[in-house]
Structure 1
Amino acid sequence: ELFKEKNQTLLNIEKIRNAFLKYEELFRKYFNDIINKKSSIKHIVEETKELAKKSKFKRETIPDIIARLSVILSLRVSDFIEKRQEEFVLKEKCNTNYLLQPHCIQILGVLILLDSDGNTNSLPPNHLGEILTGQGKSWALALLGGYFSLIGFRVTVGCYSDYLSRRDEKDFKKNLEPFCFQDCVKYQTFTTMCNEKLSNKHTNKTLRDIVSDIISGEKLSPISVKDSEKEKSILLIDEVDVFFSHQFGQTYNPGVEIRNKNIAQIQKEIWEHIMTKNPDKIQLENLTNQRVFSLIDEDQLLSIVVRSNSLKNHFNHMIDTAIEIYNDMNDKNIFKDKFKIIDNIIYKKDCDGKYSSTTILRYENSFYYLKLMYEKQNSFKEVILNEKNFGYILITCGYISYSEIPNSFDGVFGVSGSLKDLSVTENSLLTHYNINNKSYYPSFFGKSKLKFDIINDFTIKDCKKDWCDTIVTDTRKRIAEERSVLIFFENEKLLDEFYSSYSGDLGVIPFFITQNIVFDGKEVKVYNDNDVNKLIKDEYAGHHGKVTLLTKEFGRGVDFQLETKVNEKGGIHVIQTFFSIDIKEEIQIKGR
């Protein structure tokens, strides 16, 4: 009835009700059979695979397959089963009063997404469902992913961030491990999906490998793939926002680094010339031309690239980049914030503010690394250089449109916490992908306990000092109430400024989490998922009197485990220190 209230377009509520009742009956049967040792985990798993293989997509078997998946998921998360001699078995002692299982609203939502009230056995139409924050999107996606994988589809779950994709894939594999899904279901960002498009599973070679072979003069072997060998695939969306990121409308530009010791030497000489003589472009062009001419007969790679008439352009890019970095040293020094060296590897900050060793922009990475290393001794003579950071020609392998990725799948399904807040433009984009079906899950927690007054809890300050003072005052008030506080900043720079100048006024030592570093109250560490999980789960961030500063990326999908006392005192207090351009971002941060 709750679903009917929120979804006026549900065509056949009776069919959905019957599908759920069948699920419920079968869940109890399979669960009791395992608990009473009438059946084994192995038997249930094998029966499920056989049923799925025979039926493919048949609406009458959906409740049965979902029930079997749910039973294994429930037993696993409840810690009722364990692995002995390579087989999952029931533990000796299980208190069935403490069974964790999918909520009826989650199951009904999954049945609706799978079009259980439909009349044919063809693949359901593309469909997104709205599940409110903290109400089980991960479990719904796990059941959908498991179902589609069992009936023969390759499944990709599109996630908002690397952290969420790693976390949810780890949970999925652990909770449904008895089914051995392994690589059948993958959790990925759209960037990772683009990378996978460059790979060929028949040869284990990527497009980058093939381009490298061509440049190196290697002989290529033809690859033929029959249409019958092409896998059918499903895209599951974890948060509709993945469609509206800055990447959409842009292209993914894969490149391959062709490494060469002579290129490394020439790049060093370019930087030395700039630092010891002058940054004259004509002189640098003459220098590189002379060096290439002297090496071309003995260096096969240089010879191949020269014949392709592209080497001159690469050296022009190198020279322009080196001169730009040199001029910037004596001007705004904007490159200083773009790069850092971690463990002797050069990292570049990407458009999301995250430092990455795989983000490469032309030859900036190479020459900024050489600049930093040259400064140590004012020469390269006594400096040990890591040639992983420079000494390559960067060849562009083509362009992949992020917005075309969804069109490469046979079906698109998913869940989101902010479906009803889409703009007209955003809805039109979903229509472009033939996502015309939307459903809305009711809350199984009842009324929301979120307290937000659009007048009194919405504050604008005229200057940064007043802004910081207000954050400090509000935080100290909540600490006095024995609550925990999460403070979200728009970027790492603003977080760092606040921490450096005002953290001492909070009355406690705050933790902080960014995409690059984590501070647990004792030491600053390079970002690591395990350190983040420790802070958010082990009653650090959620402990009374604790304050955590975070960048906005951690306002989506990250679950903070609260101390009981904090819940009793009114729950966690969230301060968003910036205005979201997109209301969905604000909804997600409030959802913490």
Structure 2
Amino acid sequence: MQKQDDLDYVIGASEGDDLAKDVVCSRYKSFRRTYDDLISKNLGSFNSKTQTEPNLEVLIAQTKFLIGKVVRNTNVITWDHSFRDKIPELLAHIFAIWTLKNTQHYNNSRGIDESRAYLLMPHVAQVIAIFRILGIGYDKNVTIKKHRIHFSIIKSNDLINNLVQIGTGEGKSVVMAITACVFALVGVDVNCSCYSEYLSMRDKNDFAPVFRALGIEERIEYGTFNKLCESFLNEQCNIREKVHDMIINNKNSIDVVKTTGRVRPKVLLIDEVDVFLSEKYYGGLYTPSVYLKDTTIKNLIDSLWENRNLRTLNTDKALPVYQACASRFSNWTFLFDGAIKDMLTALKSFPSSAYLVQNDKIVYVEGESVAENVVRGYDTVWAYYYENQKGFISQESLEKNVGIIISCGTFSYAEMPHEFAYIAGVTGTLKTLAKPEKDILENVYEIHKNTYMPSVFGKSNRNYNSNNDVEAVKKSEYFMRIRGEIDTMCNAKRAILIFFESEEKLMAFYNSEELSSIKLNVQIITEKVSTKERELCIKRAATEGRVSLLTRTFGRGTDFICQNQQVLANGGVHVLQTFFSEELSEEYQIMGRGARQGDRGSYRMILLDSDLEWVLGADWEKKIPEINGSTLYVTLDKARNTRYESRCAGKKVGIEQCKREHEASRHFKNALSEGDMSIVKDFLLQQNRGVIIDSGISRTLLLMDATGSMSNLLSAAKDTVCTMFERAAVVLAEKGLRSDAFQM
């Protein structure tokens, strides 16, 4: 039974820190009265036969009037009790605009009351979630401090960094967008950050009509965590353009950039915070670079490729093509020396990373899609030459996409949230976060309050029991068991989604003998599938008898909506996971692709026993017969949690190292704006020194055993080794010896 409009149910089942349910209840009732009144008035004068949507000019003007004089000056936003008291009414107006901007299914002939079923309207849980994000519904004894960042301040006794858990398919994007509208209307810049470019752009496009109507589109930015870094990078000036102009024009001095500080405060809204806390981001680095392209540079790279088996740094420096570059870029010759070292090293190991040739470009798989703007060092440059030689890359594309790569710094994703005056977010997996992750949120980012919204669709109708629906099988049975699951679902006239750990494992099953008889009727959804084809496959995935093989990426954020009542009556969409997730949050997300919004559905795991070595240890073969059955999942989950918490704790060493690199890069960014050429040159030298290729240098090879129970310490071990090499360089420099004799 759907309970999206059941206020008593939602408030009764809601949980949260310092949750004042009586306050939330009264504020929601106030919101609802205003919202219903606005909808009735605007629909009363709307003729769906002659108008595409109601005239909203008056409603928009009323919405902006409610803001009043919240903005006191360019650097201070005052968010006091008087403004907080206006929020329910303000939200009612914004939600009314959203509803009335989506009247395409409104049927005037049915009358206003009945036709409301055809309108997009906010659920109780969505409104309450926004209340909590905006500081409403906390006990009065909670002390909330002001948020400051550089020259921008949000003065508030109500706002506090917080997160809200909202279930899969229950409107996280609505909560993010409407919250962003409130902040943007009071003069705040909002970053809505997500792990996925595809999902981020989808949400932005869905709410763009509302943003445009309110005149706040330029203040709300949707994008990935990479885009978040890019915005920070170019806040004072475009670093890439500045560095490119400086070198390509052989400048020995740079102009000071006129900066006035941050004009407006910035707010960060995070979608799926558990992804941000993953190793890719929390502990990951963003490394911007520029391509230098010039005739002399192209001639030098051509020479390296044509004679790739004969080259050393000294022989290359004696060539006319190098001398031409040295003359053309006399102030930046040191960058070319470092680049040649890196190019020669990359040639020896080429190809070191997997790539695709698509649309006359070298592209890489990033997340759930193919990224055309990713450069993986000189491996990408040599890939262009290699594919051009084979005839798969045109000469025009080669000329356009090769050059000298100049690193412009190393920025830490983990430091980015500190640039914002206020942090909030929505996620589907707040309760599944490990304790070290919760500690990071509270102690590092000062996110002190959490709210857990109940499902508005009531109790889940998912058929799943971890005691019976998780099994580990031998390799000889693995594909056969997956095929058996497919046959069971197809015979029941249901749909099945099968998630694999990687494309390689997916294709192994797809090309197996076990699947051969129905292979032509099976659809594949991987990162390499085009966006258009992928959207079509996703729409078909929940139809009767449909079999879909997917990579794990699509187990998060992808909506498989079942509109076939017969499929739902037969049991709904079945989700089969063929690997054991390292993080519980991923498992919950994959499970959530079925049984959405109160629909029926089911979930199972069929695991390959040998794949469980990472969680059970080296003696997995001995353990599995002892635990297979009702205790299998409990044992795996306990071992996973222990391992994951240890790995989270081990991130601290890496974060500290990333922070040092981030601060150095930030110092460079400031020097670039201030015109300090000495700091700029020294930083670019350090960043682009190149690998050591002199034969006289001693080289150390480090081998790390990452199997079994010790694999959770691998990241911490690597970070510690990096620190060791850094310290060795300092000692060598102090002794007057070459500090780059040790390099990581």
Task: Establish whether TM, by shorter chain, passes 0.5.
Answer: yes
Give the residue type in structure 1 aligned to 2:240.
R
1:578-589 to 2 correspondence within 5 Å?
578-589=579-590
Q: Distance in 2 between matches of 1:444 and 1:75?
A: 23
Shift of 1:354: 5.5
Residues 9 and 376 from structure 1, CA distance in 2 versus in 1: closer, same or farther, beyond 3 angstroms?
closer
Match of 1:135 among 166, 170, 186: 170
SS in 2 for 1:403: helix
Residues 342 and 164 from structure 1, CA distance in 2 versus in 1: closer, same or farther, beyond 3 angstroms?
same
Deviations 1:31-52 (A, max 9, x none): 1121223994111111111212
Deviations 1:461-517 (A, max 9, x none): 221x52222111101110111111111111112122222225424476111111122
Shift of 1:224: 2.8
Residues 535 and 355 from structure 1, CA distance in 2 versus in 1: closer, same or farther, beyond 3 angstroms?
closer
Residue 73 of structure 1 contacts residue 176 of structure 1 at CA under 8 Å; is this kept in 2? no
Residue 17 of structure 2 contacts residue 450 of structure 2 at CA under 8 Å; is this kept in 1? no
Percent of residue pairs identical? 27
What's 1:291 paired with? 320
1:300-449 to 2 correspondence within 5 Å?
300-301=328-329, 303-306=330-333, 309-325=334-350, 335=352, 338-349=354-365, 352=367, 355-376=370-391, 384=395, 386-388=397-399, 390-431=401-442, 432-449=444-461
SS in 2 for 1:439: strand
Structure 1 residue 37 corresponds to structure 2 residue 45: yes
Q: Distance in 2 between matches of 1:580 and 1:253?
A: 28
Give the residue type in structure 1 aligned to 2:217.
Q
Residue 173 of structure 1 contacts residue 181 of structure 1 at CA under 8 Å; is this kept in 2? no
Residues 456 and 260 from structure 1, CA distance in 2 versus in 1: closer, same or farther, beyond 3 angstroms?
same
Deviations 1:192-219 (A, max 9, x none): 1111222247xxx510000011112357
What's 2:293 paired with? 259
Shift of 1:104: 1.3
What's 2:29 paired with? 21
What's 1:73 paired with? 98
What's 1:520 paired with? none
Residue 81 of structure 1 contacts residue 91 of structure 1 at CA under 8 Å; is this kept in 2? no
Residues 506 and 222 from structure 1, CA distance in 2 versus in 1: closer, same or farther, beyond 3 angstroms?
same
Shift of 1:18: 1.4
What's 1:330 paired with? none
Shift of 1:8: 6.0
What's 1:86 paired with? none
Give the residue type in structure 1 aligned to 2:266.
S
Q: Distance in 1 between matches of 2:384 and 2:166?
A: 46
What's 2:125 paired with? 105
Shift of 1:455: 2.4
Residues 349 and 238 from structure 1, CA distance in 2 versus in 1: closer, same or farther, beyond 3 angstroms?
closer
- Deviating beyond 6 angstroms after TM superposition, the runs of 4 or more aligned structure 1 residues are 90-94
What's 2:534 paired with? 532
Match of 1:209 among 218, 241, 244: 241
Structure 1 residue 172 corresponds to structure 2 residue 207: yes
SS in 2 for 1:141: helix
Q: Distance in 1 between matches of 2:369 and 2:272?
A: 21
Residues 248 and 289 from structure 1, CA distance in 2 versus in 1: closer, same or farther, beyond 3 angstroms?
farther
Number of positions where the alignment pairs a residue of Structure 1 with one of Structure 2 = 545
Q: Distance in 2 between matches of 1:280 and 1:427?
A: 54
What's 1:161 paired with? 196
Q: Distance in 1 between matches of 2:401 and 2:39?
A: 59
Residues 565 and 399 from structure 1, CA distance in 2 versus in 1: closer, same or farther, beyond 3 angstroms?
same
Match of 2:260 among 226, 248, 254: 226
Deviations 1:517-566 (A, max 9, x none): 2xxxxxxxxx22x33223323xx111101111111111111111212221
What's 1:85 paired with? none
Residues 361 and 11 from structure 1, CA distance in 2 versus in 1: closer, same or farther, beyond 3 angstroms?
closer
Q: Distance in 2 between matches of 1:536 and 1:293?
A: 53
Shift of 1:289: 2.8
Structure 1 residue 54 corresponds to structure 2 residue 75: no
Residues 269 and 293 from structure 1, CA distance in 2 versus in 1: closer, same or farther, beyond 3 angstroms?
closer
Residues 508 and 415 from structure 1, CA distance in 2 versus in 1: closer, same or farther, beyond 3 angstroms?
same
Structure 2 spans left out of the alignment, 5+ residues:
1-7, 47-53, 72-78, 145-155, 594-744
Shift of 1:220: 4.0
RMSD after superposition:
2.8
What's 2:576 paired with? 575
SS in 2 for 1:459: strand
Give the residue type in structure 2 aligned to 1:240.
V
Give the residue type in structure 2 aligned to 1:199.
N
Shift of 1:587: 0.3
Shift of 1:305: 2.4
Residue 13 of structure 2 contacts residue 453 of structure 2 at CA under 8 Å; is this kept in 1? no
Q: Distance in 2 between matches of 1:112 and 1:312?
A: 56
Structure 1 spans left out of the alignment, 5+ residues:
83-89, 326-333, 518-526
Deviations 1:60-90 (A, max 9, x none): 10001110111111222342789xxxxxxx9
Match of 1:247 among 269, 281, 299: 281
What's 1:523 paired with? none
Residue 163 of structure 2 contacts residue 449 of structure 2 at CA under 8 Å; is this kept in 1? yes
1:83-122 to 2 correspondence within 5 Å?
95-117=115-137, 122=157
Residues 152 and 92 from structure 1, CA distance in 2 versus in 1: closer, same or farther, beyond 3 angstroms?
farther
Higher mean displacement: 73-82 or 102-111: 73-82
Give the residue type in structure 1 aligned to 2:456.
F
Residue 500 of structure 2 contacts residue 506 of structure 2 at CA under 8 Å; is this kept in 1? yes
Deviations 1:135-186 (A, max 9, x none): 1111111211111111111111111211111111111214554223322212
Structure 1 residue 547 corresponds to structure 2 residue 574: no
Residue 200 of structure 2 contacts residue 222 of structure 2 at CA under 8 Å; is this kept in 1? yes
Higher mean displacement: 249-258 or 502-511: 502-511
Residues 64 and 386 from structure 1, CA distance in 2 versus in 1: closer, same or farther, beyond 3 angstroms?
same
- Could you state the TM-score of these two structures normalised by the residue count of structure 2? 0.69
Shift of 1:412: 0.8
Residue 31 of structure 2 contacts residue 91 of structure 2 at CA under 8 Å; is this kept in 1? yes
Deviations 1:109-156 (A, max 9, x none): 221222213569545101101111111111111211111111111111
Shift of 1:398: 1.1
Residue 199 of structure 2 contacts residue 557 of structure 2 at CA under 8 Å; is this kept in 1? yes
